[in-house]
Amino acid sequence: MNECVLCKEIITNPVCIECIEREIEAWLYEVKPELIEELKTKTTEISVDTGETNCILCHDSMSICTYCYTSHIFEWLKTRVPELIREFRKFFDFNYFF
């Protein structure tokens, strides 16, 4: 087990940001497809390709926890589509992955 490079917490539920991004992208496709390109830019902003933890879904190495990534996206969505924040929290609250 490794720690997240951002919050320094041990990554207990290793799902990489690309895998979460796919889920968020599928959701945005339903509710706000015009934001998908921007979502990708936002993901790239905090994407780190290295790490000694491997994603349980795609097995890529990763070093940012689900909480830091979803918070990053949450802060962005809050400014872009405040009306969708409730729904986002329902689906992508980090508890979703536990």
CB atoms within 10 A of CB 35: 19
Q: Is 16 among the residues that bind Zn ion (CB under 5 A)?
A: yes
Contact 80, 72 (CB under 8 A): no
CB atoms within 10 A of CB 44: 10
Looking at 10, 26, 31, 57, which residue binds Zn ion (CB under 5 A)?
57
Which position has the token pair 């992508």?
92
Q: Is 10 among the residues that bind Zn ion (CB under 5 A)?
A: no
Nearest to 55 by CA among 86, 13, 24, 87: 13
Q: Is 24 among the residues that bind Zn ion (CB under 5 A)?
A: no
Q: Is 19 among the residues that bind Zn ion (CB under 5 A)?
A: yes
Looking at 7, 10, 26, 85, which residue binds Zn ion (CB under 5 A)?
7
Binding residues for Zn ion (CB under 5 A): 4, 6-7, 16, 19, 55, 57-58, 65, 68
